[in-house]
Amino acid sequence: MDSYVAPSTKPLYRGTQVVWYLLGLLEALLAFRFVLKLLGANPGAGFTNFIYSVTYPFTLPFSTVFGTSQVAGSVFEWTTLLAMVVYWLVAIGLLKLLLMGKAVSTPEAAAKLEASE
């Protein structure tokens, strides 16, 4: 294999890093939301209020898909889990789209096409 690196490789690499970073940040915030709701955290507490406020716009599109399961102040929020899965799938799609712009050699392209048949 040749060691030539196309000029488009570095921006693609940075682009994938940005997508992974943003996904990781969003998933972490949504995981905090899920756990805080599950443990019945006080919504008036500063940290809890911050997490709920920041994550609300990301869970809003999914708010009517499922109901919530509630037991003695603990809420199992299906909406948050669905949001986490959907945003993960969107990130994977963006990564695939970014990687489609990667330069490949003719032999590499031929091998990949042959393998996909």
For 50, the 3-state DSSP assignment is helix
Q: Which residues contact 53 (CB under 8 A, 6 or more apart)?
A: none
For the chain, 117 residues long, give each residue's pLDDT as a single digit of tens: 445 556 667 778 888 999 999 999 999 999 999 999 999 999 999 999 999 999 999 999 999 998 888 888 889 999 999 999 999 999 999 999 988 877 777 787 778 778 877
Work out the angle between the directed axes of helices 78-99 and 46-59 (0-180°, nearest 10): 60
Task: Tell me which residue of 77, 59, 60, 56 sits closest to 68, measured CA to CA.
Answer: 77
Domain spans in the chain, listed from the N-terminal domain onward: 9-116
Tell me the C-alpha distance between 116 and 24, whole Å: 31
User: What backbone torsions phi and psi does residue 27 show, to the nearest 5 degrees?
Assistant: -65, -40
Q: How many CB atoms lie within 10 A of CB 38?
A: 15
* Residue found by looking up tokens 């096409």 in the block: 113
